[in-house]
Amino acid sequence: MLHLRRVRPGDVAALSDICLRTADHGADATGVLDDDEIWGAVFAVPYAQRHPEFAFVVAGDDEQPHGYVVATPDTDDFEAWFRDVWWPRFADRWPEPAADDTSRRAGILRYAFGRRPGAEPHARRYPAHLHIDLLPSAQGQGWGRRLIERAFDELRAAGVPGLHLGTSAQNTGALAFYDRLGFERLPSGPGSQDFGIEFTVR
């Protein structure tokens, strides 16, 4: 039976795997890039490392995660840490791509190398942001909503006034999910859709 719990240090490999298996507009991205570990290193694992207090998983009886939510309460602070502490350890493994490289891999790495405070236009009004991913085994059972609500509760308790997130414009399931949760659609870049929500801080 599935249950919700806080992330643990031993969950890192599972978080990376779940990120990979949901990264292609919600579908499995295995083999899409030449190194499957890029996805987790950019979009999942650093959040659990930096802010385990805002990271939760849906786990089975064996405690193996089937989904996660990871969040940061302060996007600009997180982006400074990502730039200065987290990403430099991967610079030799995944060098910055050439300017004329238009591959999907290059786009993700270019994003990683470009992360910095002030780069996210929605961070002033909605300072927190999160990533959430569920394997098919945890979908359609309300776990996505429960993960989001748990993250919201923790962020509110920390005095965070709002949160933004982004998803692929092709991920119709995710778009409908965030609409149902009461997120506001925000101005977005090509191929993506950003959302924001304000909290009533307790």
Q: How many CB atoms within 10 Å of residue 133?
A: 25
Say what the pLDDT of residue 201 is. Answer: 57
pTM for the predicted model, two decimal places: 0.92
| Closest CA relative to residue 108, chosen from 44, 12, 59, 184 | 44
Are the CB atoms for 129 and 118 separated by under 8 Å? no
Say what the pLDDT of residue 200 is. Answer: 77
Say what the pLDDT of residue 170 is. Answer: 87
Domains of the chain by start residue, with CATH: 3-198 (3.40.630.30)
pLDDT in tens, 161-177: 999 999 989 888 889 99
Say what the pLDDT of residue 202 is. Answer: 54
Say what the pLDDT of residue 164 is. Answer: 97
pLDDT in tens, 64-113: 999 999 999 999 999 999 999 999 999 999 999 999 999 999 999 999 99
